C-alpha cells in the first residue's frame, strides 16, 4: 500500500489534459492552509510552470463550504504562545507563494466558490483569472482576531474603488460575488453549477485567449452589491487617515449602513484598526507587491509579541466565547508610537534578492 505524505493528502495535484489542477483538500476545515499545503502549492506551481504541456492552472477547493477559509491561525497561535521559533515559518513561506501566484507565467484560474477569506484571498485574488459564484463570501476578517489584512492585502485593498478597500479592511465584513468583482478581487461571475463544465473546457485550452473565451462562455452578470450601493457613504466616511475621524464621520450619519458599520468597528481590536489603516495608506503609495508583503511580515512579527492576536484567536477559535478583551481597549489609548513599532525597516526580510 502506497503511503502519501500530509501535503499529498491536503493538496491534490493532477494534470487534466493541458490543465494543471490544484485542489485544496481539507474540507472539514474549509481548506484552511497549513505549512505543508503552502509548500505543496509552491511546488505544484513550479512543476506546472516548467511543464510545456500545461497551458493553465486551475485552483479549486474540495467540499461544499468554500475554497479556503484562510491560514490555520490556531496553529500560529499555539506556536506563538509556546515561544516556538518556527512560528514565523508559515508566513515566511506563504507570502512568497502569494508573490509567485501574482507573477505566474501562465493563466492561473481561481475558483473562488463559497468562503474565501484571509489566506484564501492570498492564493486566489493575486491570480490572473478569478472566478466567483453565487455562493462566494469573501473577506479579510483579521481585525476581528486582533490582526490585520496580510497576504498582500495592503496591496490589493487600496486598489479598490474609492474607499471600498478601507471599508473592507477595517470592518472585516464578508461580501458577495458582486462586491468581490467591484473591489477588484475577482473578474468573472460563474454560477457554481457550471464550474465543472468550465473545468472541462479549460482542460482543452491551449492559450490565454482560449482560457478567456472559455470563461466568458459561462460568465454572467453578477449584479450590484453592498459596496456599489453604498459607495457615496463609504467614500465620505472612510476618506480620513485616522480611525478616530472615521468613527466620528460615521457617528454623525443617521442611515442604517453607517450605524451598522460603526457597530462592527466598535467590536474590532483598536490596535488592529489603527495598524490596518496605516498599512493601507502606506500600501496606496507603495511601488510593488513585494514592498507590501515585506511590510506585512514585519508587522506580523511584532503582532506575535503583543496581546491582541492571541486574545482574538482565543475568543474566536479556542474558547469561542466571542468576547475578546482587547488591550488597549479604546482607540484613544493606542498611541502613534505604539503603531510605529510594527513599521520597522522591512526591506529584504522575505525577498533579499529584491532589496527595497
- What's the pLDDT tens digit per position in 125-166? 999 999 999 999 999 999 999 999 999 999 999 999 999 999
Nearest to 51, CA basis, from 18, 16, 99: 18
**pLDDT tens digit string along 181-211?**
999 999 999 999 999 999 999 999 999 999 9
Mean pLDDT, range 222-231, rounded to an integer = 97
**79 CB-contact burial (10 Å; exposed 0-12 / middle 13-18 / buried 19+):** middle
Contacts 24+ apart (CB under 8 A), 73-82: 73/118, 73/145, 73/147, 73/313, 73/317, 74/313, 74/317, 74/318, 75/34, 75/35, 76/304, 76/313, 77/309, 77/310, 77/313, 77/314, 77/317, 77/318, 80/304, 80/309, 80/310, 81/310
Cβ(146)–Cβ(276) below 8 Å = no
pLDDT at position 218 over 60? yes
Q: How far is CA 285 from the centre of its chain?
A: 20
Residue predicted with more confidence, 1 or 71 = 71
Q: What is the reported pLDDT for 1?
A: 41
C-alpha–C-alpha distance, residues 100 and 187, integer Å: 19
Q: What is the reported pLDDT for 178?
A: 98
Cell numbers placing 324: 475578546
pLDDT at position 247 over 70? yes
**pLDDT tens digit string along 288-337?**
999 999 999 999 999 999 999 999 999 999 999 999 999 999 999 999 99
pLDDT bucket at 353, cuts 50 / 70 / 90 = low
Catalytic residue among 72, 94, 113, 150: 150
Ramachandran assignment for 161, one of left (phi > 0), alpha (psi -120 to 50 degrees), beta (any other)? beta
C-alpha–C-alpha distance, residues 229 and 238, integer Å: 15
Q: What is the reported pLDDT for 348?
A: 64
Per DSSP (E only), the strands in the chain are 11-16, 19-24, 56-61, 66-68, 108-112, 115-117, 129-132, 137-139, 188-189
Q: How far is CA 258 from the centre of its chain?
A: 24
Cell numbers placing 218: 459561462
Mean pLDDT, range 230-246, rounded to an integer = 98
CA distances from 5 to 20, 56, 135, 149 (A): 20, 26, 31, 31
Q: What is the reported pLDDT for 168?
A: 98
Q: What is the reported pLDDT for 344?
A: 84
| Residues contacting 251, CB < 8 A, separation 6+ | 262
To the query of whether residue 232 is one of the catalytic residues in this protein, the response is no
Catalytic residue among 71, 122, 127, 144: 71
Residue 15: Cβ within 10 Å count: 14
State the average pLDDT for the chain: 95
Nearest to 143, CA basis, from 342, 311, 257: 311
C-alpha–C-alpha distance, residues 69 and 33, integer Å: 8
pLDDT bucket at 356, cuts 50 / 70 / 90 = very low
C-alpha–C-alpha distance, residues 351 and 356, integer Å: 9
Q: What is the reported pLDDT for 8?
A: 75
Nearest to 93, CA basis, from 354, 350, 356, 352: 350
Q: What is the reported pLDDT for 105?
A: 97
Catalytic residue among 94, 113, 142, 296: 142
Please give the share of the chain, as a percent, with pLDDT higher than 70: 97
Per DSSP (E only), the strands in 103-231 are 108-112, 115-117, 129-132, 137-139, 188-189
**pLDDT tens digit string along 98-128?**
999 999 999 999 999 999 999 999 999 999 9
To the query of whether residue 210 is one of the catalytic residues in this protein, the response is no
Catalytic residue among 20, 114, 118, 119: 119
Overall pTM > 0.85: yes
Mean pLDDT, range 213-217, rounded to an integer = 98
Please give the share of the chain, as a percent, with pLDDT higher than 90: 92
Residue 312: Cβ within 10 Å count: 25
To the query of whether residue 119 is one of the catalytic residues in this protein, the response is yes
Q: What is the reported pLDDT for 352?
A: 73
Strands 66-68 and 19-24: unpaired
To the query of whether residue 150 is one of the catalytic residues in this protein, the response is yes
Mean pLDDT, range 9-13, rounded to an integer = 95
Strands 19-24 and 11-16: antiparallel
**pLDDT tens digit string along 339-350?**
999 998 766 678
Cβ(120)–Cβ(26) below 8 Å = no
pLDDT bucket at 351, cuts 50 / 70 / 90 = confident
Amino acid at each position: 500500500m502506497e503511503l502519501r505524505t500530509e501535503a499529498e493528502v491536503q493538496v491534490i495535484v493532477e494534470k487534466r489534459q493541458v490543465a494543471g489542477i490544484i485542489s485544496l483538500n481539507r474540507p472539514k476545515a474549509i481548506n484552511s492552509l497549513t505549512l505543508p499545503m503552502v509548500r505543496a502549492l509552491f511546488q505544484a506551481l513550479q512543476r506546472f510552470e516548467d511543464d510545456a504541456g500545461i497551458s493553465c492552472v486551475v485552483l479549486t477547493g474540495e467540499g461544499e463550504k468554500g475554497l479556503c477559509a484562510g491560514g490555520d491561525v490556531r496553529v500560529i497561535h499555539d506556536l506563538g504562545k509556546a515561544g516556538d521559533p518556527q512560528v514565523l515559518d508559515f508566513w515566511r513561506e506563504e507570502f512568497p507563494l502569494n508573490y509567485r501566484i501574482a507573477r505566474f507565467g501562465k493563466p492561473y484560474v481561481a475558483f473562488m466558490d463559497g468562503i474565501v477569506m484571509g489566506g484564501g484571498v492570498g492564493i486566489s485574488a493575486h491570480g490572473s483569472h478569478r472566478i466567483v459564484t453565487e455562493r462566494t463570501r469573501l473577506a479579510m476578517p483579521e481585525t476581528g482576531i486582533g490582526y490585520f489584512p496580510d497576504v498582500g492585502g495592503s496591496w490589493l485593498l487600496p486598489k479598490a474603488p474609492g474607499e471600498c478597500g478601507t471599508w473592507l479592511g477595517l470592518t472585516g465584513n464578508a461580501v458577495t460575488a458582486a462586491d468581490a468583482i467591484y473591489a477588484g478581487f475577482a473578474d468573472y461571475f460563474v454560477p457554481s453549477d457550471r464550474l465543472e463544465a468550465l473545468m472541462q473546457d479549460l482542460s482543452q485550452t491551449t492559450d490565454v485567449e482560449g482560457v478567456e473565451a472559455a470563461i466568458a462562455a459561462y460568465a454572467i452578470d453578477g449584479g450590484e452589491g453592498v459596496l456599489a450601493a453604498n459607495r457615496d457613504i463609504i467614500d465620505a466616511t472612510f476618506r480620513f487617515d485616522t480611525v478616530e475621524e472615521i468613527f466620528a464621520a460615521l457617528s454623525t450619519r443617521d442611515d442604517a449602513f453607517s450605524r451598522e458599520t460603526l457597530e462592527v468597528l466598535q467590536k474590532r481590536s483598536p490596535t488592529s484598526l489603527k495598524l490596518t489603516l496605516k498599512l493601507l495608506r502606506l500600501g496606496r503609495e507603495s511601488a510593488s507587491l513585494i514592498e507590501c508583503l515585506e511590510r506585512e511580515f514585519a508587522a506580523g512579527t511584532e503582532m506575535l509579541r503583543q496581546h491582541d492576536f492571541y486574545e482574538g484567536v482565543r475568543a474566536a477559535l479556542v474558547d469561542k466565547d466571542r468576547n475578546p478583551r482587547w488591550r488597549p481597549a479604546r482607540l484613544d489609548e493606542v498611541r502613534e508610537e505604539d503603531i510605529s513599532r510594527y513599521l520597522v525597516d522591512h526591506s529584504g526580510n522575505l525577498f533579499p534578492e529584491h532589496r527595497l
